[in-house]
Structures are given as structure tokens and as C-alpha cells.
Amino acid sequence: MDGHDLFSSCRKGDICSVRYLVEERDVDLNVRDNWDSSPLYYACLCGHEELVQYLLASGAKCEANTFDGERCLYGSLNDSIRRLLKEYKCVGVRAMKRHDFNYFLHLLLEQGLHSDITFVVHGQMFTAHRCVLAALSEYFAEMFATKWTNKSLIHLKHPLINPAAFGAVLQYLYTGRADIDVSLVDDCRRLAKQCKMTDLVEELQLKCKRVYEFVSNKPGICVKVLSLEPHSCQLQEDMAQLADCALPPQLRVGFGALPFNRVDHLHTYPDVCFRVDGYDFLCHKAFFCGRSDYFKALLEDHFSEGEQLQSQPSTPAITLHNISHQIFTHVMYYIYSDDAQLTQENAFDVLCVADVYLLPGLKRLCGKTLAKNLCEDNVLCVWKTAKLFRLSRLEDQCIEFMAKIIERLVEKEEFAEMVKEDAALLEKRHETDSVPLIDDIRFHIASNVQTYSAIEEANQKLGALEELLFSIDIDC
């Protein structure tokens, strides 16, 4: 529904709603609808200049000579929006939030954090990680196990290997995305076939066909760069293989236990061991340091405090305290795949650990899990949890739920105490000053009220709220 609301708000030009959806509800502003259109396209098409400015500044993709850029330019309602698009400075992946998974993968490749393999292609060097390439490509996994075994520097000298095309293929492997110059399409397709990347070959064919159809019907349009977008779910599933392999063998029941998985045969070249409850999890510094400042400090600043793994003397073993192996397993799967199988029962425990380990994305996942199970009995407790851990989206969802059941909620002593506490938190509050919790509940009660019956119902709820405020002597 949030994605639907974003498209609707962009068509209307409702910048406040768009800002709320993007900044508070974490909606991807480059999301696509069934017609392969983005929110920016509709904002341009409907002539909402201020909204176009906001979307561009927030990281909407619209590079010149790409399918998206040319389509937005062609569909713009007026010249002022066209000027905005032409002056657009590409922010691309750098506009992503710091803890975004795609941004992490981009930096992993770009900066080569804890890389353990270097490719030299006609004089150009590309740093990479054997664990990532082995997990995402059976071709690379086979080569590392045979021809390239124990090698950290690999020279690729074949005259048909184009360095720029090789870089684009690496970018696609790591992030699922690639910006490929039209002149390099054949080189990329050839490399993809060699590396047995059928998905990339198919995507290139599909994108070329779509661009050809678009350009042939739009005189004056020139597309010079093909932009491939990631299929997040597939990328997450592929990366989750690294977590499957990191699990101690005795804990793999239910994790990567399907008969057709590659875990038993896939070597992932771990370089750090986390010891939890006596179990050894064989992991990778690149992922833990790149996704968590806590683990970065633990592994880089206090490296000497770790033991050495007896079976692999070059691998440090770090013991983690105050966490169970079950909870650490969820943390590990999140770090590798940006996802975790959370339940109502374990979400709070994982949330506490995610806060300690500085994993805001995992905190948001916990918030989503708690939001799915909101009920009259737990909404007040969940709201307090959301406030404590600064989960603004969960906090808003709790208040929206409170507004629906306010007539029963005002009878609870716990709710009255919450209102008093919220009022007391305001410094130098005057008697008639507003109380944030009450203001938010009133907003949700009154929003989207359009029919007479809805107006009457809203007035009844507001009346019940006013009676409570009067009974606890709060005027706001």
C-alpha cells in the first residue's frame, strides 16, 4: 500500500505525503509499477516542479542518455521541469542511505574492503572477494577450486576481454545493477556467457529490446547507457548462502537443509570465527565490518584480543558474550542477506541485540514484525518499545491502531498513565500546551473522514478522548 500511495501522491503533487513515505516509512523512491514507470516519471508528467526537485535531490534515478532519463525528459509537462532534468547531477548510489544493503554492496566492490582476490585485465586492476563471487557464480566457484586455487592475483590476458565490460559484470554480480554503455553490450554479453550468467544475458536482451522499441517511437531521443536494476529478492537469496555456510554443521537443521542446496560443496573462504555458546560461526570480515560499526571496532580496533582458530591458524576466533546462538543466527542472516526470519516471540530479543550491534536496518525489520501482530493487549507496550528504540514508523503504526480502538483504550489505567508521562516529558509545558501522543491520535482519528457516518464515528472517538483528558486534569 505504501508503494501505491507513493505513486498516487506523485501524480497529485502532494510533496508532504511523498516526504513522509520516503523519509518515515522507508519507501523506495525508485520503485516500479506495472507499466515500468517510476514516481519521478509521474511527477514530471503531471508538472509538479517542486516535487521533481525533491525526488532528484533524494536520489531518484534520471541520468542523461538512459531509458529512465530520456523517458522523464520526453514526458515532462513543461520546459522548467525539462531544465531541471538536464541540470540534474547524478547522485546515483551515493544518495542511498548509509545502512542500505545495496549501498553496502556497492561500497564492498568500490572500496574493496577486506578483499582477498585481485584481477588484472589488460593493466586494469579490480579487487574482489572470493566469498561473494563463489556464492553468486558457479563459474567463479569452480575456478577458485581448480585453476585459481590459492591465488590472490589473477591475470586475464585474453584479447576479447574488455576491462570496462569486466567491471560492469563485477558490478552486476555484487549489486544486481549495472550501467553499461551501449557500445559494451556485446562484450558484456560475451563475458556473461563465458561466466555462465544466463540471467545477465537475458536481462541485456530484454533491456536492448525495450530501449529499441522506445527510441524507434520517439524522434530525437538517444539512449547511450543501459541501466540494469537489481532483483533484491534473488540477490538476498544468493547472499544468504554465505550465512548457510557460516552456520556450524550441528545447527544447519532448517537452515540450508534442502537437498539441492550448494552449502555442502561451496567453499566460502572465511576469515573470522565468532564463538557463541560454544558454537563456531565461520564468517567474513568484509560483511561484518561493512554492515556494523560495532563489529568494525571489534575486529579492527581490538584485533589482538581474539584467539586463533586451531583448525585454521590464520583465522581469528572472537567470543561474543551476552547473546544466544539462536539470536546470533538471526543477526548473521541479516548481515549477509538483509533479511531475517523473525517471529513475535524473538523480535524483541533481536531488537535489543540489533541496537547494541548498531544495525538500524535489523531494528526496522523487528519493528515490522511487531507491527504485524498489534492488538489491544500489546499496543501500549509496543508503542513504548518503539519510543525507546526510536522506531518512528512502528510508533506511528501503534498510534494509528490506538486511534481505531480509542473508546476501549481510554478505560485502561495504563493508557492514562502513558498520557501523563508524555505530558510530563515536555519541558516548561503550560497547562494548555499540546501533548504529542494526544495530537497524533487526534490526527489519525480525523484523517480520511469523508462520509457523515465517518464524521459521527470520529466525533465519538474524540469525545471519549476528551473525557479521559478531563478526568486526569490535562487540558490540551
> In this structure, are 208 and 240 located in the same domain?
no
Residue 262, in any domain of the structure: yes
Residue 117, in any domain of the structure: yes
Strand arrangement of the beta sheet that strand 153-156 belongs to: 124-128, 117-121, 153-156
For residue 50, what are the contacts with CB-CB under 8 A and spacing of at least 6? 13, 15
Q: What is the pLDDT of residue 312?
A: 66
Q: What is the pLDDT of residue 366?
A: 95
Segment 250-259 shows an average pLDDT of 62
Compute the distance between CA of residue 335 and CA of residue 294 in angstroms, rounded to an integer.
12
Segment 318-331 shows an average pLDDT of 94
Q: What is the pLDDT of residue 53?
A: 87
Segment 326-347 shows an average pLDDT of 94
pLDDT band at 94 (very low <50, low <70, confident <90, very high): very low
Segment 123-145 shows an average pLDDT of 93
Residue 351, in any domain of the structure: no
Q: What is the pLDDT of residue 449?
A: 76
**Listed range (51-60, 94-103, 166-175) with the worst mean pLDDT:** 94-103
Query: pLDDT tens digits, residue range 138-150?
Result: 999 999 999 999 8
**Listed range (76-85, 215-224, 352-361) with the worst mean pLDDT:** 215-224
Share above pLDDT 90 across residues of the chain, in percent, rounded to a whole number:
42
> In this structure, are 23 and 112 located in the same domain?
no
Q: What is the pLDDT of residue 310?
A: 61
> In this structure, are 221 and 249 located in the same domain?
no
Compute the distance between CA of residue 239 and CA of residue 284 in angstroms, rounded to an integer.
12
> In this structure, are 83 and 139 located in the same domain?
no
Q: For residue 178, what is the domain's CATH number?
A: 3.30.710.10
Number of neighbours of residue 149 by Cβ within 10 angstroms: 9
Q: For residue 64, what is the domain's CATH number?
A: 1.25.40.20
Where among 59, 93, 127 does a domain terminate? 93
Q: What is the pLDDT of residue 93?
A: 42
> In this structure, are 238 and 223 located in the same domain?
no
Mean pLDDT of the chain: 85
Where among 182, 208, 230 does a domain terminate? 230
Residue 365, in any domain of the structure: no
> In this structure, are 269 and 195 located in the same domain?
no
> In this structure, are 89 and 117 located in the same domain?
no
Q: Distances in Å between the alpha carbon of 326 and those of 247, 284, 338, 347, 368? A: 11, 19, 17, 12, 20
> In this structure, are 105 and 176 located in the same domain?
yes
Where among 294, 319, 341 does a domain terminate? 341
**Listed range (48-52, 227-231, 407-411, 425-429) with the worst mean pLDDT:** 425-429
Q: What is the pLDDT of residue 325?
A: 94
Q: What is the pLDDT of residue 68?
A: 75
For residue 286, what are the contacts with CB-CB under 8 A and spacing of at least 6? 108, 113, 114, 115, 129, 131, 132
> In this structure, are 190 and 302 located in the same domain?
no
Task: List the one residue out of 251, 395, 242, 239 whose CA is nearest residue 327.
Answer: 251
Q: What is the reported pTM?
A: 0.78
Q: What is the pLDDT of residue 427?
A: 54
Per-residue HEC secondary structure of the chain comes to CHHHHHHHHHHHCCHHHHHHHHHCCCCCCCCCCCCCCCHHHHHHHCCCHHHHHHHHHCCCCCCCCCHHHHHHHHHCCCHHHHHHHHCCCCCHHHHCCCCCHHHHHHHHHHHCCCCCEEEEECCEEEEECHHHHHHHCHHHHHHHHCCCCCCCEEEECCCCCCHHHHHHHHHHHHHCCEEEEHHHHHHHHHHHHHCCCHHHHHHHHHHHHHHHHHHHCCCCCCCCEEEECCCHHHHHHHHHHHHHHHCCHHHCCCCCCCCCCCCCCCCCCCCEEEEECCEEEEECHHHHHHHCHHHHHHHHHCHHHCEECCCCCCCEEEECCCCCHHHHHHHHHHHHHCCCCCCCCCHHHHHHHHHHCCCHHHHHHHHHHHHHCCCCCCHHHHHHHHHHCCCHHHHHHHHHHHHHCHHHHCCCHHHHHHHHHHHHCCCCCCCCCCCHHHHHHHHHHHCCCCCHHHHHHHHHHHHHHHHHHHHCCCCC
Residue 367, in any domain of the structure: no
Residue 6, in any domain of the structure: yes
Q: What is the pLDDT of residue 91?
A: 44
Task: List the one residue out of 380, 377, 391 whose CA is nearest residue 437.
Answer: 380
Domain count, the chain: 4
Q: What is the pLDDT of residue 469?
A: 85
Contact predicate 462/419, CB 8 Å: no
Compute the distance between CA of residue 177 and CA of residue 179 in angstroms, rounded to an integer.
7
Asked whether the predicted pLDDT for residue 398 surpasses 90, the reply is: yes
Helix 198-216 to helix 185-194 angle (10° resolution) is 160
Expressed as residue numbers, the domain containing 37 is 2-93
Asked whether the predicted pLDDT for residue 159 surpasses 60, the reply is: yes
> In this structure, are 173 and 260 located in the same domain?
no
For cell 534515478, what's the residue? 61
Q: What is the pLDDT of residue 272?
A: 93
Share above pLDDT 70 across residues of the chain, in percent, rounded to a whole number:
89
Residue 347, in any domain of the structure: no
Contact predicate 333/341, CB 8 Å: yes
Query: pLDDT tens digits, residue range 8-28?
Result: 999 999 988 888 888 777 777
Joined together, the cell numbers standing for residue 261 give 542446496
> In this structure, are 202 and 259 located in the same domain?
no
Query: pLDDT tens digits, residue range 257-276?
Result: 444 455 567 889 999 999 99
Residue 370, in any domain of the structure: no
> In this structure, are 69 and 165 located in the same domain?
no
